[in-house]
Structure 1
Amino acid sequence: MQIPRQAMLLRIFIGEDDRDDGHPLYESIVLKAREMQLAGATVLRGGMGFGQSSRLHTTKILRLSEDLPLVVEIVDSEEKISAFLPVLEGIMPSGLVTLEKVQVLQYGSTGG
């Protein structure tokens, strides 16, 4: 699989407690991206954050929160990302989704 040098970064900000049909939303996003043969997806867990509600989510002991912030990042061609957006819209009850143009310098091994 190849990614064009000029690609798109889809960044999805959600909470750890967000669900899709009883499953963690981040798992559903990654599995659907894989099913649609996107180049890859990475889930990053944040130690602290807040969103639209301004409610603080943190790992600090005095304010335990199981709903920590998560970021799912997917990089692929503009066409593949555009095809994935309606699927994402259908499973995301809330959150923040951003898109930006990126330049892919390497994908996979360099051989050798």
Structure 2
Amino acid sequence: MQLPEESVLLRIFIGEDDRADGQPLYEAIVVKAREMHMAGATVLRGPLGFGRSSRLHTAKILRLSQDLPIVVEIVDAPDKINAFIPALLGMTPSCLITTEKVRVIRYGEGEETR
């Protein structure tokens, strides 16, 4: 699979406790991205963060409910990202979704750098 040099980074900011059909939302997003043949997806777990509610989410030991911040990142061609967004919106009732243009330097093993 080739990625165009001018691609798009899709970021989805959710909570660790968010669910979709009984499974963690981040897993549902990655599985859907794979089903839609996206170039790849990465899940990042943050030790500290807050969102729209301004409620602090932390990994400190004394907290009973952590609900740590999760970021799912997907890089792909603009048309593939745009096709994925409606499916994503159907899974995420509350979250932050952003996109930005990125320049792909290398995707895969042994390919020439651009």
Match of 2:17 in 1: 17
Match of 1:51 in 2: 51
User: Number of residues paired by the alignment?
Assistant: 111
Residue identity in the other structure for 1:35: E
- Rounded Cα–Cα distance in structure 1 between residues aligned with 2:66 and 2:37: 31
Residue identity in the other structure for 1:55: R
> What are the ranges of 5 or more consecutive residues in structure 2 without an aligned counterpart?
none
SS of the counterpart of 1:75?
strand
Judge which range, 55-64 or 89-98, deviates more: 55-64
Q: Percent identity?
A: 68
What CA RMSD, in Å, does the superposition of the two structures yield over aligned residues?
0.9
- Rounded Cα–Cα distance in structure 1 between residues aligned with 2:106 and 2:44: 20
Match of 2:61 in 1: 61
- Rounded Cα–Cα distance in structure 1 between residues aligned with 2:66 and 2:5: 38
Residue identity in the other structure for 1:19: R
**Per-residue deviation, residues 48-87 of structure 1 (Å, max 9, x unmatched):** 0000011100001233433100000000000000000000
Residue identity in the other structure for 2:16: E
* Shift >3 Å, 4+ stretches: none
- Structure 1 segment 22-101 matched on structure 2, within 5 A: 22-101=22-101
TM (norm. structure 2) is 0.94
